[in-house]
Amino acid sequence: MALRIDGKAVAAKVKARAAEETAALKERGIVPGLAVVIVGSDPASRVYVNNKKKACQETGIYSEEYALPEETTQEELLALVDRLNKKPKISGILVQSPLPKGLEESALVEAIDPQKDVDAFHPYNVGKLMQGRQIFLPCTPAGVIELLHSAGVEIAGKDCVVIGRSDIVGKPMAMLLMQNNGTVTVCHSRTRELSDICRRADILVSAVGKAGFVTGDMIKPGAAVIDVGMNRDENGKLCGDVVFAEAEKIAGCITPVPGGVGPMTIAMLMQNTVTAAKLQNGIGRN
C-alpha cells in the first residue's frame, strides 16, 4: 500500500517557515503584504480567496481584498493593478481566476509589476523560470516539488511524466522537474500510447482536470503519483484525476485529493509574498 503524502502537514511546515521569515522582517520594520483581487461572485473563487486570507493571518502577512462587481471593466481593473503596483504596503498582487467574460486575463497579468507577481504568471517571470534564474517559483508546481522532497523521492535521473501542458501547472512543472535533474516527458490530449508512457514513469504528475483519468494500470509499481486534479465525481464529491483506490495499491507514494497538492499552492503563495517583500527592500536577489 502506497505512502499517503500529507499535503496539509507539509503545507503547515512551509507556512511556519514563512511566518518565521515574516517575524524577522517585521523586526526590521518590513511587513509583507498581499493584495487579492476578485471579480464577480464565483463560489469556488470566494472559497480560494478566503483560504488565502486565512493563510495570511496564520503567517503574519498583511492582506487586502478587493471584491469587485461582475460588471467591472478592463480599464477599471488595470487602474486598480496600477495603484497596487505603486502601493508600498503591498508586496504581492494576485488576481483570482477565472475572471468574468469580457475581461482579458493576460493583459492584467502583464500589467502586474514582475516583482509583485507572486503567482509567477508574468512573461518576465516565466522567462526567468525557463532560464533557471527564477525570482518566484510558480505556486502549484513548487508545492509538488516540496511534496516529493518531503516523501524522500529522489528526482535526479528519474523518468518523470507530466500529464497536462497548461501554462499554470503542466509547463512550469516540467521545468522544475528538469531543474531537479529529472528526465521529463509532457503528455497531452494528442499524445499517443499515453498508458505505455505513464507506465514508464518513476514520478507521475497528473494535471489534466478529468476525474478518473489515471487508472491503476497506467502506474508503474512503486512510482510516486502526484494528483493535481481538482474535480467533482458523479456524486458531486471532490476528487482528483487519479482513481485513488486503484493507484494506492500500486504506487510507492501518492497524494490524496483533497489534502494533497491543494494546501501546498496557498503555502507557496505565502512564501512568494515573503520573497517579494525581501526583494522590494533590497534583501536577496534582484
Q: Could you give the residue numbers annotated as active site?
A: 52, 96, 119
Query: Is 164 annotated as ligand-binding?
Result: yes
Rounded CA-CA distance 137/249 in Å is 32
Residue type, 36: V
Strand partners, 66: 37
Rounded CA-CA distance 286/284 in Å is 7
Three-class SS string for 145-202? HHHHHHCCCCCCCCEEEEECCCCCCHHHHHHHHHHCCCEEEEECCCCCCHHHHHHCCC
Query: Is 170 annotated as ligand-binding?
Result: no
DSSP alpha helices (H): ranges in the chain?
Answer: 7-27, 43-59, 74-85, 105-111, 123-130, 139-150, 170-179, 194-199, 244-247, 261-280
Q: What is residue 258's three-state secondary structure?
A: coil
Residue 1's closest CA among 284, 260, 264, 244?
244
Rounded CA-CA distance 115/192 in Å is 40
Strand partners, 239: 231
Q: What are phi and psi of 172, to 5 degrees?
A: -65, -30
- The answer to whether 109 and 80 are in contact (CB under 8 A) is no
Query: Is 28 annotated as ligand-binding?
Result: no
- The answer to whether 94 and 244 are in contact (CB under 8 A) is no
Positions at the binding site: 164-166
User: Which residue positions form the known binding site for NADP(+)?
Assistant: 164-166
